[in-house]
Amino acid sequence: MKLTQKESMLLQDLKTSEEICIEKYGQYAQKAEDPALADLFLTIRTKEEEHLKTIRSLMDGTVPMMSGGQQNQQSGQSCQPGDGKAAEKSHSKTDEYLLKDALDTEKHVSSVYDTCIFEFTDAGARSALNHIQKEEQEHGQMLYDYMSTHGMTA
């Protein structure tokens, strides 16, 4: 695949965004007070690493084959307390801050992918970027579900 100058610049922006996400989720996993939240951050970090590999492939002019299917939602569900009420009062302000920032990050990154999808001429590249955008939206859903389960507002 031959990239236009605009496509190359957009991929560079996406690469930077994914690198920031990887770094952020790694740090947030270390800072999280709830071990289940730390696991959730690490799960998302792993997916962001896959996204970075895809972006690098596109930068090299190769459209990677994208695996189908939804992300494993189990990690988001494993964060749920017994009845949810005790967690409403016991969640830490640190965890709440990390979650709100991570959710804002996912919203931003998803919107960047949305713009890029419209700018690419190659259908395979658009499909790969669309696949990643859907996973970014799933990350947002996982974060929101954790927040909701633990009595935090988004």
Band (pLDDT 50/70/90 cuts) for residue 65 is confident
Q: What is the mean pLDDT of residues 127-142?
A: 97
In sequence order, what DSSP letters do the residues of 48-104 get, joined into one string?
HHHHHHHHHHHHTT--PPPP-S---THHHHTT--SSSHHHHHH--HHHHHHHHHHHH
The reported pLDDT for the residue numbered 64 is 86
* Per-residue tokens: 133: 């955008």
Spell out a b/e string for 16-25, using b for 16 or more CB atoms within 10 Å of the CB, else e.
Answer: ebbeebbebb
Which domains does the chain carry? 5-149 (1.20.1260.10)
* pLDDT tens profile 13-57: 999 999 999 999 999 999 999 999 999 999 999 999 999 999 999
- pTM recorded for the entire structure: 0.83
Judging by beta carbons within 10 Å of its beta carbon (0-12, 13-18, 19+), is residue 99 exposed, middle or buried? buried
Decide: helix, strand or coil at residue 130: helix
Decide: helix, strand or coil at residue 127: helix
* pLDDT tens profile 66-125: 765 444 444 334 444 444 444 444 678 999 999 999 999 999 999 999 999 999 999 999
Among 97, 94, 142, 116, residue whose Cα is nearest residue 12? 116
Scan for tokens 């949810």, then name that residue. Answer: 84
Among 144, 65, 64, residue whose Cα is nearest residue 102? 144
